[in-house]
Amino acid sequence: MLIKKSMKKLLFIIIISFISQYSFSQKVGFEFGYNFAKLSEQENKEGISTFQIGIMADLMKQENYFHVNTGLKFNQKGYYNIPKGLTNSKIRINYLEIPINFGLYLMNKGNNSSFFLQLGPYLAFSLMKAYSNDYGLNGGIGVDTRHMKITIAYSRGFNEVEYERENRVFSAIITIFL
């Protein structure tokens, strides 16, 4: 009887392992990106170059080309302030951001590169007391290979950062999978 219970447990573990191995493909990697950040349309505000870095995970359902991309990253946003009659200044706002992007692979050629679209919300915690937390929507297109992903993305904040203006960020991102 004890052997029969042990065999059932072992069979259950093998079945669960098999299902989890073949239902979802998981990739974890480091993400590096260049940002062109600015606030929504406002006089005397121009964009600035910033960066992002973080750890990302891709979960992909193999049979229907659907994927979920999430992680934790340091993301720098901001704007170029040109006050009238004063010196120009770059305002950089540091955030700890959690994106959750839902995507669809457009062409999947087995283990070769695949094109994708993705869209999803993000929550960003300000690391600077002078600025509030941010939340918004991400969207992007890119190409995914076995070891790397290249994404062109746009991020639109919905929370006011300064005087009824929200974050707007264009990004070029490279993710290197482990």
**Residue 21, pLDDT above cutoff 90:** no
Mean pLDDT of all residues in 144-159: 93
DSSP string, 63-113: TTTEEEEEEEEEEEEEEEE--TTS--EEEEEEEEEEEEEEEEEEEE-TTS-
Q: Of 148 and 11, which is predicted with more confidence?
A: 148
CATH code, 26-177: 2.40.160.20
Per-residue pLDDT tens digits for 89-130: 888 999 999 999 999 888 765 667 789 999 999 999 999 988
What pTM value is reported for the model? 0.80
pLDDT digits (tens, 9 = 90+) for 36-64: 998 887 665 678 999 999 999 888 766 66
Hey, where are the domains in the chain?
A: 26-177
